[in-house]
Structure 1
Amino acid sequence: MDDVQRLVAVYQIEKLKSRYFRALDMKDWAAFAANFTEDIVFDFTESDTGDDVDKLVRHIYQVDGAAAAAEWARTAIGNATTSHHGHMPDIEILDEDTATGIWSLNDQIWFTKDSGFPYAKLEGYGHYYEDYRRVDGVWKVARTKFVRHHAIFTPWDQ
């Protein structure tokens, strides 16, 4: 790959991550799943910021496959209002069809009273570590590992 092809690939991967966040926040589960390879590994085993995240947000595990990843996300956030922001992408193109990337993340989740979540809001900070694969000329996420480093919980009475 020449430099221009690498820059185009980086741009396409940045747009892929934008579509990922937008589909997640819009609760468009078909569009969300379309960002992934069929064999994606969706790894949230290191997103722990304490026992309350594991018990309350149900983020501490791994799912395999695009449909399973979308279903997991749908179940995890339910009807909550969400805002996901990915920043400072560090993307490395390995060859014509594979790449890796690291993204800084800030996510905010406003839960509904009927969600059963004991907090009104969760604001998290962390990183995504990802592998990308080009499938039929389109970049897809083949593996994503989310590591949340810190979370702030806002009680319902605030």
Structure 2
Amino acid sequence: MEALTGLDRLSALEEIALLKARRDRAADTKDWTLYEALHAPDHQSYNDDYGHWTSAAEMIRNVRRSMAGLTTAHHSHTPEITFETQTTASGIWAMKGLSVWRQGEESHWFLAFGHYYETYERRDGTWLFTSRRLRYLHTVRSPGAIFPPTIAPNPA
């Protein structure tokens, strides 16, 4: 099968860029319904902070709990998107992420720079995330900050 070319390629690039923008906004605004809708059910996540999650449902459950006490700002930019087929692609996005939280009586922060390595698939006419790996190149945190936050167990 021939990879995308011409206007079809440009259209798919824009759709994937919007997918990524929505993901960052959904994470920062804690819109978990939107966040989950952007991911294929069989999505695989590899996060250097937490390890490997094997489904979108598992990822959403853990991301939601790990970010419960955080205010975040995710910035993704300068994408490198490669189309393997007309319905599959991979991408690398440079990232900068800021997390701010209360730890006891003090405010703390964590700032990270790195890359997201992602795969996408067009299913039923919509591009979805099928995998993501976050790799940090550089991180810095406020003195005494404990990051990443512990993921609290599921409520009983």
Q: Residue by residue, what CA displacement relative to the aligned partner does 1:73-121 show, whole Å, maximum 9, x if unpaired? A: 112221211000001000112221100100000000001235x9x8700
- The residue correspondences of 1:26-41 to structure 2 (distance < 5 A) are 26-41=29-44
Letter in structure 2 aligned against 1:18: A
Contact 1:9-1:93 within 8 A present in 2 as well: no
The one of 118, 139, 144 equivalent to 1:151 is: 139
Q: Which residue of 2 aligns with 1:139?
A: 127
* Identity score, percent: 30
More helix by percentage: 1
- The residue correspondences of 1:42-57 to structure 2 (distance < 5 A) are 42-44=45-47, 47=48
- The residue correspondences of 1:108-127 to structure 2 (distance < 5 A) are 108-114=98-104, 120-127=108-115
- Aligned equivalents of 1:61, 1:74: Cα separation in 2: 15
- Aligned equivalents of 1:128, 1:148: Cα separation in 2: 9
How far the C-alpha of 1:156 sits from its partner, in A, is 6.7
Q: Residue by residue, what CA displacement relative to the aligned partner does 1:46-75 show, whole Å, maximum 9, x if unpaired? A: x3xxxxxxxxxxx23011111211111112
- Aligned equivalents of 1:83, 1:14: Cα separation in 2: 17
Secondary structure at the aligned position of 1:78 is classed as coil
* Residue segments in structure 2 that go unaligned for 5+ positions in a row: 146-156
Q: So what's the TM-score if we normalise by structure 2?
A: 0.85
Secondary structure at the aligned position of 2:129 is classed as strand
Q: Which residue of 2 aligns with 1:3?
A: 6
User: Which portions of structure 1, spanning 4 or more consecutive aligned residues, are displaced by more than 4 angstroms?
Assistant: none
How far the C-alpha of 1:41 sits from its partner, in A, is 0.3
Letter in structure 2 aligned against 1:38: P
CA RMSD of aligned residues (A): 1.9
Q: Give the aligned length.
A: 142
Q: Which residue of 1 aligns with 2:88?
A: 98
Letter in structure 2 aligned against 1:152: V
- Aligned equivalents of 2:34, 2:58: Cα separation in 1: 13
